[in-house]
A = this chain, B = another copy of it.
Amino acid sequence: MDEKFSFALRKIALLGGINNYIAVSSRELGVVLGMSQQSASKRILELLDEKYLVRDLGARKQRIKITDSGVEELKKEYNEYRRIFELTDHVAIHGKVVTGMGEGGYYITQKPYMDQFQSLLGFRPFEGTLNIKVSKEDLGKLEVIRYTPGHLIEGFEKDGRTFGNVVAYKAKIQNLECALVIPQRSHYSDILEIVCKFHLRRTLSINDGDEIGVIIDLSSLSSEDQISGMT
């Protein structure tokens, strides 16, 4: 997103325009943005055009509100700042081991995925993923990961079935090299899927319900395959 848009959106958010329609004239917005009434009016039109803002243009005064997609853009920047000031190069996430639906394991063992794993992360995952249900306190950290570029593992087609893109992040569990994998088109989830060269449950002697910590690396990217996480 253009910086001029995020600047305006941020100021509108500070005026309370995230959850409610707020009455702001173009003159008032101009003062807040440090520009003329004309330019503020233009900026509003541009933001409407980009669908970052919706407007209720009354006779006396317009009322504006930031759309979900506008909030999304602001969160991206917020998370950049969080990476800068809270977590420089990694996030530690705690959760409980759970049994997944087994889907992840089937997916990841597909050869095209495996090959890319080998070249991007340096190992071929053992079949099956370890599923971790993230503890409540750490849910906020998932957003940071979501907005951090990871290793893009490209999807493919096979037997008429589509295997989508997957984003991987290097990770560690008790000093064991592993990786967090997130299907790129997935929706919000509080389950982390971890793959490893070894059978994690056996190697670390862990079972369902056990508390476990994962360290996710956010800084290990080669410049080519930068891509952001889930939608």
Contacts and interface: CB of A to CB of B under 8 A. Distances in A.
A78 B81 contact: yes
Interface string A69-81: 0000011011011
Contacts of A14: 80, 83-84
A3 B7 contact: yes
- Tallying the copies of this chain within the complex gives 2
A77 B79 CA distance: 12
B75 A10 contact: no
Given A3-B3, A3-B4, 11 more contacts: A3-B7, A10-B77, A10-B80, A10-B81, A10-B84, A13-B84, A14-B80, A74-B84, A75-B85, A78-B81, A78-B82
A28 to B, nearest CB: 8
A78 B85 contact: yes
Contacts of A83: 14
Those 7 A-B pairs whose CB atoms lie nearest each other, nearest first: A78-B81, A3-B7, A13-B84, A3-B3, A78-B85, A81-B81, A10-B80
